[in-house]
Structure 1
């Protein structure tokens, strides 16, 4: 891991790429996200993040809409690279 700081997913702007590093929630929340393809170590791209409404991310050729509260519990590390998956 490089020296980039972990930040909540909600803070990333559209067009940015990141790796999920931690999910701060119970096992039900983590399990639900994993079922959608979003788990620790997953490469993601932020497709949409306006001031209001859901955040749209792409991973594994899927698009996932997350509520802003959910996105606050997902800690990511921004990368310069496009997702490999």
Structure 2
């Protein structure tokens, strides 16, 4: 099932499928290690606001909700 990173549950693991954004966003995410085919784990998030914390390549990264909504991941059921 494909969902956005923002819609993942805490501690859920997924594989990045695509980024629905422009070249600038893709380049910024690439610099953080977030690209197609990489496994990503959602570690933490606040209910209504604040960053979403993910783990990718053994590192923790904070993403804004707008960015997280544009990262599509494949998760198990």
Structure 1 length-normalised TM: 0.83
Offset of residue 53 of structure 1: 1.1
Partner of 1:37: 33
Gaps of 5+ in 1: 81-85
Q: Which has the higher strand share?
A: 2
Q: Which residue of 2 aligns with 1:19?
A: 15
Runs of 4+ residues over 3 Å off in structure 1? none
Q: CA deviation at 1:12?
A: 0.7
Match of 1:71 in 2: 68
What is the Cα deviation at residue 42 of structure 1? 0.7
What TM-score do the two structures reach when normalised by structure 2? 0.91
Bigger Cα Rg? 1
Does residue 56 (structure 1) correspond to residue 58 (structure 2)? The answer is no
CA RMSD of aligned residues (A): 1.2
